[in-house]
């Protein structure tokens, strides 16, 4: 930390990694023309990950403030190309910023759970026996990485301004609701319940259901990554339209909800078994583009194929190891919206509560994270009320 100096001494070179990738790639190439930069970039690029020792603290009691800080940090200490950056505040609050290309949340979640459960500490923060020496390995002393940014001054100012604008445009809200014990009591799939709560919330706010993405893991297979679950179906739309229709009996609404959740569950299991459609079709699309197929098959120019996922959702994985303990678990996970006029919603599920992370862009005239989060909260309350649970 002494090597790093004061905040005012920082160059902000990490802000380059927040630029669109083509721009950053061109700057990266120019930087490597100087040997000192080439060596520093090699060191960063070959590392497993980064650790940011923060000079500012994260509020221990405000999950939303912690999430926002972990999401983008300041201009100096988030190397967004790295698959993981551990951020440690002076109060010992710790979190991670993860880049999705190299790995999925399942991998990061397993690593995080291992870190949280596999070491014990005393009141002074020291690792206690028998954990201290069980996996000891030599650690090289820190060295000060150097940059030569002559000729890159304008690029650096542009990249910092770009990152400031992105941070200002980021609209992140975190809320908590009851957990999976309620849908389990009603003999319904918890994940299906939460997905239908989001569908109901969106329908109430916008009077429409939009193309929705939910991630499924395909790690049953060697090198499996993800597949798309499409929770919007005729059954889910029927449920949303019926919920606030006074002419529809509550028992019918319950039936529609069960049909929608059952269909969502079936789609999820098919996706996990490699029977989804999105990755397969995307692979065919890449083959067509890569072989310069002209014209492209009609499927790939069809309006339906090119719809955007304006509601992108994912459940933050927890309890992925046999060492899991609730008191040592993460309290929140989240990701950014994948469209300019949509939402990114992550939900971390425990028996007694769910932490929801809702993200959108302030520049969008369509979205408002706080309003949509409250719509989700209201939908969750109304679902419980429907079952008197």
Catalytic site residues?
100
Residue in this structure with the two tokens 């007694």, named with its chain if needed: 352
- CA distance linking residue 29 with residue 27, whole number of Å: 5
Helices (H), the chain: 21-31, 35-46, 63-72, 105-117, 153-169, 181-185, 190-206, 234-243, 250-272, 278-290, 298-301, 369-386
- Give Cα 125 distance to the centre of its chain: 29
Which residue from 92, 91, 95 is spatially nearest to 73, judged by alpha carbons?
Answer: 95
- CA distance linking residue 67 with residue 295, whole number of Å: 45
DSSP string, 132-170: SSTT----PPP-------TT-HHHHHHHHHHHHHHHHHE
Which residue from 196, 325, 174 is spatially nearest to 264, judged by alpha carbons?
Answer: 196
DSSP string, 304-345: TTT---SEEEEEEP---STT--GGGS--------SSTTSEEE
- CA distance linking residue 105 with residue 90, whole number of Å: 26
Gap between the terminal Cα atoms of the chain: 52
The upper half-sphere exposure of residue 50, i.e. CA atoms within 13 Å in the direction of its Cβ, equals 21
Buried b (16+ CB within 10 A) or exposed e, 228-243: bbbbbbebbbbbbebb
Beta strands 311-316 and 226-229 are: unpaired
Buried b (16+ CB within 10 A) or exposed e, 313-345: bbbbbbebeeeeeeeeebebbbbbbebeebbbb
């Amino acid at each position: 930390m002494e090597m790093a100096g004061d905040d005012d001494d920082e160059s902000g070179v990490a802000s380059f990694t927040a630029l669109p990738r083509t721009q950053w790639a061109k700057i990266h190439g120019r930087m490597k023309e100087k040997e000192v930069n080439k060596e520093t970039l090699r060191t960063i690029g070959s590392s497993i990950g980064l650790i940011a020792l923060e000079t500012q603290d994260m509020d221990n009691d405000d999950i939303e403030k912690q999430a926002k800080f972990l999401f983008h940090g300041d201009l100096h200490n988030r190397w967004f190309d790295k698959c993981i950056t551990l951020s440690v505040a002076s109060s010992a609050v710790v979190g991670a910023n993860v880049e999705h290309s190299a790995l999925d949340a399942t991998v990061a979640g397993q690593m995080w759970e291992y870190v949280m459960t596999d070491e014990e500490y005393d009141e002074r923060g020291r690792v206690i026996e028998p954990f201290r020496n069980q996996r000891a390995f030599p650690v090289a002393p820190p060295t000060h990485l150097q940059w030569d940014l002559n000729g890159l001054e304008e690029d650096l100012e542009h990249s910092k301004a770009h990152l400031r604008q992105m941070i200002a445009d980021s609209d992140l809200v975190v809320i908590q609701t009851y957990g999976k014990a309620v849908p389990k009591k009603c003999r319904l799939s918890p994940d299906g319940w939460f997905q239908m709560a989001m569908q109901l919330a969106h329908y109430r706010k916008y009077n429409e259901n939009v193309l929705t993405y939910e991630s499924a893991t395909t790690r049953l297979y060697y090198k499996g990554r993800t597949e798309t679950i499409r929770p919007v179906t005729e059954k889910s739309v029927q449920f949303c339209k019926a919920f606030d229709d006074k002419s529809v009996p509550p028992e019918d609404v319950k039936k529609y909800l069960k049909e929608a959740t059952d269909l969502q569950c079936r789609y999820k299991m098919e996706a996990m078994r490699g029977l989804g459609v999105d990755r397969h079709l995307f692979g065919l699309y890449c083959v067509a583009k890569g072989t310069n197929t002209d014209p492209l098959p009609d499927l790939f120019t069809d309006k339906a194929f090119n719809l955007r996922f304006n509601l992108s959702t994912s459940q933050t994985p927890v309890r992925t190891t046999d060492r899991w303990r609730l008191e040592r678990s993460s309290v929140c996970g989240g990701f950014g919206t994948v469209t300019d006029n949509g939402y990114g919603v992550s939900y971390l599920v425990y028996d007694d509560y769910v932490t929801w992370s809702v993200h959108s862009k302030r520049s969008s005239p369509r979205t408002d994270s706080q309003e949509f989060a409250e719509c989700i909260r209201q939908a969750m309350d109304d679902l419980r009320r429907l079952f008197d649970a």
